[in-house]
Amino acid sequence: MKMTTSVLLAGTMIIFAVIFVIVVLIPTYQAEVKPSEMVRMRTEIEEEGRHIYIANGCTYCHSQYIRPQDWDLGAERIAKEGDYVLDEPVLLGSIRTGPDLSQAGGEHPDDWHRAHFTNPRYTRPESIMPPFKFLGDEKVKSLTAYVQSLGGKDADARVSRQKHWHKILTEAYDKGPDSNVAILHRYIPEMWINMPNPYPATEAALKRGERIYQSFCLGCHGPVGDGQGPAAKYLYPPPLNFTVLNRTGVSGGIFYYQIMNGITGTAMPYFKRELESEKIWDVSNYVMINFVGKNDANTEPRGIDAAYEPVDTSTKQGGK
């Protein structure tokens, strides 16, 4: 056969049509995707929030799927096709300028979202997410409801855990600083309570700690650690005023435990996925010395051996 233009064109079209049938049409009509175990119907307000999410281009920065190779996200769950049966359009997204949100529900309580949507720099001083205050309270509420629904039934379980602890912690906060600190420390394992900060509070460590404090903590706990950062007016219970810890038996281990795990039911987020161990000890030293007004760094029992740092043996406080 002679390869004329029309033969080439017809051949191309035939090949294209065959591929289209195999890759698109057959799977569309054959694949019977069943809802996965976490799927549930969205409520009206969550559905409204989803429209606001689409209208404001959240998908340009946030994905909603976790692949097997994404374990480094700290994912509890790999996405399944059945997770998306109720979504039209599906909001997978392809860019992760911000974190994946497919399991965002219940990661933070509602008050954290209120502060974060008003201005992300309030809760995360170096965030590049734009503020959404212009949406107004009603829309921010719907958007929050939608984000809290991400993860379906799994998210519902996390949200109800947040609510459970929120009630207990709010009641304790309302009774005054002593009962507040008592409840904050009540559930921390003995081992952590008795553990001093194993790293000496050297000048370098305190400088690193200051840098971490400014990048992660300042928006809530405030520049002088009194809990009066710009996020404070949106949060209840408000960020802790570190000075109240001066007359309590607070330890480096307690700080480590709280910073690593966060405090469920309050806006205090966990940092286990963002701050390496040493950074948590450094920021603890910084906060203890500058805001709490006492520190147990590098005293006995040392627990973790911080041998790589020069240890000043002439004083119990190490390099402080």
Rounded distance between C-alpha atoms, residue 217 and residue 94, angstroms? 30
112 in contact with ligand HEC (CB under 6 A): yes
DSSP H stretches of helix in 227-305? 252-261, 277-287
Q: Phi first, then psi: what are they for 124, rounded to 5°? A: -140, 90
Residue 244 or 311: the one with the smaller Cβ distance to ligand HEC is 244
Tell which one of 155, 267, 288, 306 touches ligand HEC (CB under 6 A): 267
Tokens of 110: 């509602």
50 in contact with ligand HEC (CB under 6 A): no
98 in contact with ligand HEC (CB under 6 A): yes
* Total interface residues for ligand HEC by CB under 6 A: 53
Containing 29, the helix (H) or strand (E) segment is helix 26-30
Rounded distance between C-alpha atoms, residue 77 and residue 298, angstroms? 39
Residue 84 or 132: the one with the smaller Cβ distance to ligand HEC is 132
Smallest distance from the beta carbon of 176 to ligand HEC, in angstroms?
Answer: 11
Using CB positions, name the residue nearest to ligand HEC: 98
Tell which one of 48, 102, 119, 124 touches ligand HEC (CB under 6 A): 124
147 in contact with ligand HEC (CB under 6 A): yes
Report which of 296, 315, 318 is spatially closest to residue 307, judged by C-alpha positions: 318
Rounded distance between C-alpha atoms, residue 22 and residue 42, angstroms? 33
Rounded distance between C-alpha atoms, residue 45 and residue 320, angstroms? 54
Rounded distance between C-alpha atoms, residue 260 and residue 43, angstroms? 33
107 in contact with ligand HEC (CB under 6 A): yes
Answer positive or negative: Cα dihedral of 236, 270, 98, 155.
negative
Tell which one of 36, 56, 228, 290 touches ligand HEC (CB under 6 A): 56
Site residues (CB under 6 A) for ligand HEC? Answer: 53, 56-58, 60-62, 97-99, 101, 104, 107, 112, 120, 123-124, 127-130, 132, 143, 147, 169, 173, 180, 184-185, 216-217, 219-221, 231, 235, 237, 239-240, 245, 250, 254-255, 258-259, 263, 266-269, 271, 283, 287
